[in-house]
Structure 1
Amino acid sequence: MLTLRVDADTVSRTRLSPSPASESMAWLRLAAASGRHPVFGDPGPLARASLAHPDVALLADLLPRNGDTYTPDLLTPQPGTNAQRGDLLDEQIAQIESAAQDDLETQVFTYTRTHWSRPLRATTRRVAESGRMQRRLANGLARFWRDTLSDGWPALSSIIDQDIAHRATTMATHGVGRTLEALHPDIEWAGDAVTLTRSWDGEIDVTGRDLVLAPGVLSRSDVVIQVDVPGQFVLYYPAQRIGAGQDRGSGAIVPVVGNARAVLLADLGTARSTAELAARTGYAAATVSYHLGALHRARLVTKSRDGRFVLYRRTAQATRLLEDAR
């Protein structure tokens, strides 16, 4: 049994929040391991193509594999209190970039050595020692998010928001203790502590810290705690109704390509130029160009030159992806 000792300050500052960084790490981990989500399926070619970027690859190298569970907490900073939900990821990226070097080295060197069955790669160690890792990790998260999840986030966020609304109602009606116990069978409330069912015993003092309850959609189905960053205490739990009522076909394409890219692919049965696609879809030409670049890197579209124009057309793989999503 793991005991997390809290006080009145912790209870009074308990809040619920999405964690875009945590969802990104879960999707990246699946992509790097060629895994599948039980509801959303294969992370898809865009996610795998994004791994070719060196900063995304660096980020992936700090994720657990082969049965290990520890993820450095600095990769999933505690969500802030900014009232604008759209700013949550930007705040988390900024926290990664500003992480203290001592904290980074403790997590990347000491904790991975303790919790991983594999050694840290020498190249990753050198980046960490150079002091450049924070900026590269922040850039890797921003890149992976833009390439894979930004367009599909509204669909995922709606599941998280429904869970938060449900938990908020429980908190308002029955209090923090009942809310905590309802998150997961492994969680119990002891009045002055949160206890988690674990195969080992321990106690951690988290008094005086905010407690952020973060529902997960793409992350694992168990409970994860985050206490390694000074002053932070995040408890991740599976959001309710993941998979209930979900259309696995139509839902699968959103995290894989996103809404804008799905629209473009649907219109690329015929070869078209960037300008033509912009006129037909209503997106700005720069937006179309950006998405076409991502789709081309993922080998979902081909491009050929016709005089002054570059024409794009979806590949057979993209056609199958669209058909599977119907």
Structure 2
Amino acid sequence: MLIAATAGTLPPALRAPLRQTFATRRLDLLAALVRVDRDAGHYIPDFLTPLPPGFESRTAEELHAVATTPTWRIAGELNVAACGELANTVGRTLPRGLIETDEQQTAERLATELEQVWLHVLAPRWPRIRARLEADVADRLQTVGRQGFAAAIESLDPRIDWHDGAVRLHGRFEVEVREAAVTFLPSVFITGAATVIDPVPQRAVPGYDPEQPGPWPYPQRRPPMFVYPVAPRKPGTPAQAAREAELIGRTRARILAAVADPATTGEVAGRLRPSPSTVSYHVQILHRAGLVRRTRDVRRVLYQSTRGAG
């Protein structure tokens, strides 16, 4: 969500709750770093969007990664945000008055503020978001199996391609990153691909010359991360819906259409008016047939149609 805010593409449904959370919870430092206006492209410190330790990483793990960011990285990235070349290029600078003199205190404060954003903005929406993310990853893996890795990469976004064994993203900046690995993350918040590329060594080290040989000026370089938009769902045409009703029955076809977005059997029953037990019976049949996928939440089970996904 923060990356969508930096790109200026945060959905309207989230802009108001995020602003309200900033104001009511007094998240002053995070509010200074993140603008939620439409087309408000800017840079925020990359340590606020850490590499996830795994696909099933927990929120507590990612907040811990923010809070325990090495001080050299905090200082370097805050310097980029406050007065670096990149900040000047995209038109966003950070008020220095809000920064703690102790970098670790700054990171811990930001982790605490991020937790409030999670609790009040994202957590209520997370089951459906997670279901869409998992569905997209499953579809991308099928593309890898059917068409190969290059085809899967080029299906992520029109600006991303695979060329001579390397991933390229066509954008406003020209940067060559010689890393052995890249992390790809799906997002339901962005409309176009975004990158997180370590800005610290080139822009925050006094006297650093990338053309000169020598040791890397910092202990560790962060691997690049590509964030790509989850593919939009492709609704069936009326003719397809009619064929489905003929093949699987009108009730199951209606249920299949009702789970184009992730939903529980109770929610489907509320929309279509059959009993929850009837919906559950038909959903289980659709699931065994591979027409819906199931995602387990802590308290609920969500179902989503596999028709036209990817």
* TM-score between both structures, scaled by the size of structure 2: 0.59
Q: Which whole-Å deviations, capped at 9, do the CAs of 1:98-133 have from their partners, x for residues lacking one?
A: 1011111111112552223243213223x2645311
Amino acid at match of 2:18: A
Q: Which whole-Å deviations, capped at 9, do the CAs of 1:77-112 have from their partners, x for residues lacking one?
A: 111126xx2x43222111101101111111111255
Call closer, same or farther: CA 1:61–1:98 in 2, change over 3 Å: same
Please state how far the C-alpha of 1:60 moved relative to its aligned partner: 2.6
Distance 1:153 1:186 in 2: 28
Equivalent position to 1:121, from 85, 92, 95: 95
Q: Secondary structure at the match of 2:167?
A: strand
Distance 1:51 1:226 in 2: 24
Q: Is the Cα–Cα contact under 8 Å of residues 184 and 223 in structure 1 kept in the other structure?
A: yes
Quick check: 235-244 or 145-154, which moved more?
235-244
2:34 — aligned with what?
A: 63
Please state how far the C-alpha of 1:67 moved relative to its aligned partner: 3.8
Q: Which whole-Å deviations, capped at 9, do the CAs of 1:208-261 have from their partners, x for residues lacking one?
A: x3x22111112x31211113172422110110116969x9xxx8xxxxxxx9xx
Quick check: 62-71 or 183-192, which moved more?
62-71
1:235 aligns with 2:240: no
Q: Is the Cα–Cα contact under 8 Å of residues 29 and 60 in structure 1 kept in the other structure?
A: no
Q: Secondary structure at the match of 2:14?
A: coil
Q: Is the Cα–Cα contact under 8 Å of residues 217 and 242 in structure 1 kept in the other structure?
A: no
Amino acid at match of 1:213: F
1:296 — aligned with what?
A: none
Amino acid at match of 1:183: L
* TM-score between both structures, scaled by the size of structure 1: 0.57
Q: Is the Cα–Cα contact under 8 Å of residues 64 and 111 in structure 2 kept in the other structure?
A: yes
Amino acid at match of 1:133: T
Please state how far the C-alpha of 1:46 moved relative to its aligned partner: 4.6
How big is the alpha-carbon RMSD for the aligned residues of Structure 1 and Structure 2?
3.2
Q: Is the Cα–Cα contact under 8 Å of residues 177 and 191 in structure 1 kept in the other structure?
A: no
Distance 2:50 2:98 in 1: 20
Count of residue correspondences: 212
Alignment of 1:262-281 (within 5 A): none
Distance 1:93 1:69 in 2: 22
Alignment of 1:138-149 (within 5 A): 138-149=111-122
Distance 2:120 2:21 in 1: 7
Equivalent position to 2:47, from 53, 70, 74: 74
Alignment of 1:1-326 (within 5 A): 23=1, 25=2, 37=11, 41-43=12-14, 46-52=17-23, 56-63=27-34, 67-81=40-54, 85=56, 87-113=57-83, 114-116=85-87, 117-125=91-99, 127=100, 129-207=102-180, 209=181, 211-218=182-189, 220-228=190-198, 230-241=221-232
Q: Any unmatched runs of 5+ in structure 2? A: 199-219, 237-256, 262-266, 268-310
Amino acid at match of 1:62: L
Call closer, same or farther: CA 1:121–1:183 in 2, change over 3 Å: same
Please state how far the C-alpha of 1:57 moved relative to its aligned partner: 2.8
Q: Is the Cα–Cα contact under 8 Å of residues 167 and 179 in structure 1 kept in the other structure?
A: yes
Q: Is the Cα–Cα contact under 8 Å of residues 154 and 160 in structure 2 kept in the other structure?
A: yes
The sequence identity of aligned pairs, in percent, is 21
Structure with the greater alpha carbon radius of gyration: 2
Q: Is the Cα–Cα contact under 8 Å of residues 75 and 103 in structure 2 kept in the other structure?
A: no
2:239 — aligned with what?
A: none
Distance 1:102 1:243 in 2: 46
Distance 1:119 1:111 in 2: 6
Call closer, same or farther: CA 1:130–1:105 in 2, change over 3 Å: closer
Distance 2:6 2:193 in 1: 17
Q: Secondary structure at the match of 1:206?
A: coil
Q: Any unmatched runs of 5+ in structure 1? A: 1-22, 252-258, 260-326
Q: Is the Cα–Cα contact under 8 Å of residues 6 and 41 in structure 2 kept in the other structure?
A: no
Amino acid at match of 1:192: G
Amino acid at match of 2:231: Q
Q: Which whole-Å deviations, capped at 9, do the CAs of 1:153-202 have from their partners, x for residues lacking one?
A: 01111111111111011122333222111111111111331111123433
Q: Secondary structure at the match of 1:132?
A: helix
